[in-house]
Chains A and B, each alone.
Chain A
Amino acid sequence: MTPPLLGPLLEVTGLVRDYALPRRRLFERPGSIRALHGVSFAVMAGESFGIVGESGCGKSTLARAVLALERPTTGTVRLLGRDLTALRPRDLKAMRRHMSMVFQDPYGSLDPRHRVARIVAEPMASLMPEVGRAERAERVREALSEVGLGAAAAERYPHEFSGGQRQRIAIARALITRPELVVADEPVSALDVSVQAQVLNLMLDLRERLGLSYLFISHDLSVVRCVTDRVAVMYLGRIVETGPTAEVFARPRHPYTQALLDAVPRPDPSRRGHRHARGEPAGGGQGGCPYAARCPRAAAVCAQAPELAEKAPGHAAACHFA
């Protein structure tokens, strides 16, 4: 059993991840590209933490590192106080029951040739072999009922379900080992609006009922606003702003967060023709603020990289002007 937890459930410290670039010549030293530049944050037990950012900001690399699906170049990932990056494979496998994942595409993430019962039971089969067959079947029923699907669903195949129901199956699979942490990478972006609301409500219910923590990764700011307590905004592999979600959205400090919030199309016709997003993520100068090239407020001081510093209680931004 796990000892009582004193610190955060998940603690990520100074995470750096480099990817090697292909060599152009045989004996050349391969170059590398840095996907994460020292990312740190913590998620408390029962908390829902959001990561927002656009493609290429490193949010999916971060998810993979948190789930120990890949090893960071430097930095640590502590789950329940244990450093996943330092564990032996056998011990790491034993830790995997405490975390699970919900993917974006409910069509690609469920094996079309397996019945729902087998899909949902699979994490138990590999991570909790000590659980007997009868109990496993019982837990599958339980997990399916948690997500609002009847026991009859267990004997059916994924193609018999709609997109929203499939995502419920994926969530049932994520719950089967009774994990403390669920990493959800764009869990509703493939769904229709009315179905999105149903799945988000389910995730809110499950959190209350089971005391789950979410690491909720999305490009959709409104979705993150609805389901997370705290949020980190990422840009080019760095956290540029973090704080309580309501506070960050109401009073964004970093110009990038402001631009993101401003860019969301709102269902309000009076806003028509009043947006001013500019530029695209560029590599950025070495050493300076990565956002300077796009930033309307950029000045000489931005040649110096700003530190992520607290600007209000619990609310930090990496900007000289925040």
Chain B
Amino acid sequence: MPLLEVRELSVSIGGVRLLDGVSFAVERGDSLGVVGESGCGKSLTALAVMGLLPAGATAMGSIRLDGQELLGAPERRWQAVRGRRVAMVFQEPMTALNPVRSIGAQVAEGPRLHLGLSRPDAERRAVQALDRVGLPTHRFPPTLYPHQLSGGQRQRVVIATALACDPDLLIADEPTTALDVTIQAQILDLLADLAGERGPGKQGMALMMITHDLGVVAETTDRMLVMYAGRVAERGPTAEVFRRMAHPYTRGLLAASPHAAAARMGEAPPGLRLPTIPGQVPDPAHRPLGCPFADRCAFVTDGCRAAPPPEIAVGPEHTAACIHPRAEPAP
């Protein structure tokens, strides 16, 4: 049984369907990347799994953790999951931390509430968690406050808070977008190491990495989903998806990224134009009947506009929601 199984998840807000039949599973110790641009539904997926959908959102489908249905579960059951079994790291370390409480107290809060530890035991656990994320006590005593730390150190505290109860699944939503490049590299290494760690009697924490950056997905995950307009466009083992890029959107997204352009340029002088994806993401209130990418796609045919494309197998465990998947190797 997978650790997390999401089936046909649809979320609507104000009558507008933002997530449209998203299914995926995360195994223990697995790392899953979810990549897409703003409005594709990747953050909403994370919030749904955390039971943190905004008021007024209606969700349909199924979210199971170890086989136990969570969608529609009473708040009490969510509270036993949230922070304890599934923890989340947000983008902005400064807003995720309380500025007037010491970092030790903030990291200890989870163990006290969820595990019922005494104050000294919870504090010991907080020190361990801080140590695990690279903030050793002798340099970073738990009595420090967030304002005494740099952005990267604060994000480490946020990660320690998430780790303190030994969750089975860690969801990281753009965890490095607010950080500098060299600090980003350190945090990504840390998250990848934590996901791979296997303690005694433990099968390792699973990681769900939500990002707009194909580079982050490539470097930290085993499997990935590409999302577009509230749906899964392509999924598979990360190496396979990058090798093949069967969905035209996946190809367009990679080609348009300055990373890929910079790599293609070699030592050429600037002036080379970047490949772009024409048009814009469809407005969620007026998504087309057929493939949501049809209007921007170079390979569109009448069949694309007739019905939403099914997910077609293009390789082992690798599918693309496209009736004309690309066969030639990715550029």
Which A residues lie at the B interface, using CB under 8 A?
48, 54-55, 162, 192-194, 196-198, 200-201, 204, 208, 219-223, 225-229, 245-247, 249-250, 259-260, 262-273, 275, 277-278, 280
Contacts and interface: CB of A to CB of B under 8 A. Distances in A.
Query: Main SS of the interface on chain A?
Result: helix
B276 A197 contact: yes
A272 B220 contact: yes
Contacts of B271: 204, 208
Contacts of A265: 184-185, 188, 213, 215-216, 218-219, 259
Chain A CB within 10 Å, residue with most, of B189, B212, B238: B189
Given A266-B215, A275-B189, A277-B185, A229 B270 contact: yes
A144 to B, nearest CB: 18
Interface residues of B, number: 53
Contact of B258 (A223, A275, A280): A223
Contact of B269 (A208, A229, A278): A229
Interface string B25-43: 0000000000001100000
Q: Closest 6 interchain pairs by CB?
A: A265-B215, A54-B180, A222-B258, A263-B185, A197-B274, A225-B262
Given A229-B270, A263-B184, 18 more contacts: A54-B182, A55-B151, A192-B38, A192-B212, A193-B257, A194-B276, A197-B275, A201-B273, A219-B180, A223-B258, A246-B270, A264-B259, A265-B213, A265-B216, A269-B219, A272-B218, A275-B188, A280-B152
Contacts of A250: 266-267
Given A263-B184, A280-B183, A197 B258 contact: yes
A193 B242 contact: no
A48 B185 CA distance: 28
Interface string B142-155: 00000000111100
Interface of B: 37-38, 150-153, 180-186, 188-189, 192, 212-220, 238-239, 242, 252-254, 256-263, 265-277, 280
A194 B186 contact: no
Contacts of B217: 267
A168 to B, nearest CB: 13
A225 B258 contact: yes
A196 B218 contact: no
Contacts of A249: 262
Contacts of A272: 192, 218-220
A152 to B, nearest CB: 17
Contacts of B260: 267
Contacts of A227: 270
Contact of B219 (A54, A245, A275): A275
Given A192-B212, A280-B150, A271 B219 contact: yes
A263 B182 contact: yes
B270 A48 contact: yes
A200 B258 contact: yes
A204 B257 CA distance: 16
B274 A200 contact: yes
A201 B267 contact: no
B135 to A, nearest CB: 12
A48 B37 CA distance: 28
Nearest to B277: A194
Contacts of A226: 258, 261-262, 265, 270, 272, 274
B1 to A, nearest CB: 27
20 contacts: A193-B256, A197-B257, A197-B261, A201-B273, A201-B274, A221-B181, A226-B274, A246-B265, A259-B182, A263-B181, A263-B182, A263-B185, A265-B215, A265-B216, A267-B254, A268-B218, A269-B238, A272-B218, A277-B189, A280-B152
